[in-house]
Amino acid sequence: MDPLPVPCLALYEGDDTPKPTFFDIFEEVEVDCGVDSLKNNKKTMVRDTNTPSTFLQNPLDSDDKIQLPHLPEDLPRDSTSVLSGKPSIPGCVVLLVESVATVIWHCRVREDDEWTRHEYDIGTHELIPPLDGKDHEKVPIYSIAACQGKFYFNTKFSYIGMLEFTPGPMFRMSKVFLVESNEELYMVYLAYRGLFGRDDLDYETRVYKMDFSEQQWCRTNDLAGRAFLLTPWYFAASCLASEHGLYEDCVYASFPTDDEISSVKDGWEDFVELPAAHKALWITPTDP
């Protein structure tokens, strides 16, 4: 097998194409390479369709392979494979994310004898119009990347998810809000420990302030005496807390059944039970 000139393109003529055609974008020629592969950020993961063999392949060296447990199923071709870090690091996880089903496969390099299949649930979204008699379906992972041993992914707009293996898969979600407050720009993360729909779901509130001189977000616990008002439908506003009977330097986040109050300065939190409602929107005071 000839080494691949990287970067290059793997071209598939159709969904049923057994093997890709590799194209050198610099030389503008096809490259003969007889593998069927899934991409990741470190190596190419190869599942040989002719022999029961699955391995990580260095595209620059055909002899540089790391054997993996053989995948028991032929996954959709546009599935994604990602490594949690360098394969030489103990405990490195190979993660496969199926493209349509809410299913991941994972194994540890040189440690596991087989792949583990896991069906995940990170929430649902409404189908408009309904499809095949269903008005909701599970949200799949759309894009994913690994950093410092953990996996980060997008689901719905304004949500960032994190997946780590301790040792099994543990999902956490963060909802992101941008808030303008007194001519300053803030970003609020509502971090969910666990999965959506669980009664024991726990929250953590983090606030960052934009430092325009450095063009970076900086963690802060000072909201300048103001209160931030958030709802899940991407709405966020602020007001001077002391003028409206609210707690200073706190984030008020409205959820379907309660309103969470989080003090970013002192670290305490409280919940106010709300009447049952499908949606909730803040009516905010106006500046004079």
Per-residue pLDDT tens digits for 14-39:
656 556 777 776 777 777 665 555 44
pLDDT band at 220 (very low <50, low <70, confident <90, very high): very high
Residue 86 DSSP symbol: -
- Please give the Cα distance from 29 to 210 (Å, whole number): 47
Report residue 142: phi and psi, to 5°: -90, -60
Q: Is the pLDDT of residue 41 over 50?
A: no
Q: What is the mean pLDDT of residues 51-69?
A: 81
Q: What is the mean pLDDT of residues 27-53?
A: 65
Q: What is the mean pLDDT of residues 61-66?
A: 80
Let me know how many helices (H) and strands (E) the chain has, helices first.
Answer: 0, 25
Note the helical H segments in 61-202. none
Scan for tokens 């808030």, then name that residue: 179
pLDDT given for residue 230 in this prediction: 85
Q: Do residues 205 and 189 touch, judged by C-beta distance below 8 A?
A: yes
Q: What is the mean pLDDT of residues 277-285?
A: 71
| Range in 4-8, 128-132, 199-203, 284-288 the model is least confident about | 199-203
Using omega within 30 degrees of 0 as the cis cutoff, is the peptide bond preceding 167 cis? yes
pLDDT given for residue 284 in this prediction: 76
pLDDT above 90 as % of the chain = 22
Long-range contacts from 51-56, C-beta under 8 angstroms, 24+ separation: 56/83, 56/87, 56/94, 56/109
Q: Is the pLDDT of residue 195 over 50?
A: no
Q: Tell me which amino acid residue 246 is.
A: L
pLDDT given for residue 35 in this prediction: 53
Identify the bridge partners of residue 177 per DSSP, sorted by sequence position.
188
Q: Is the pTM of this model over 0.85?
A: no
| Range in 107-116, 134-143, 192-201 the model is least confident about | 192-201
Residue with the bigger pLDDT between 193 and 274: it is 274
- Of these ranges, 116-130, 248-262, 272-286, the one predicted with the greatest mean pLDDT is 116-130
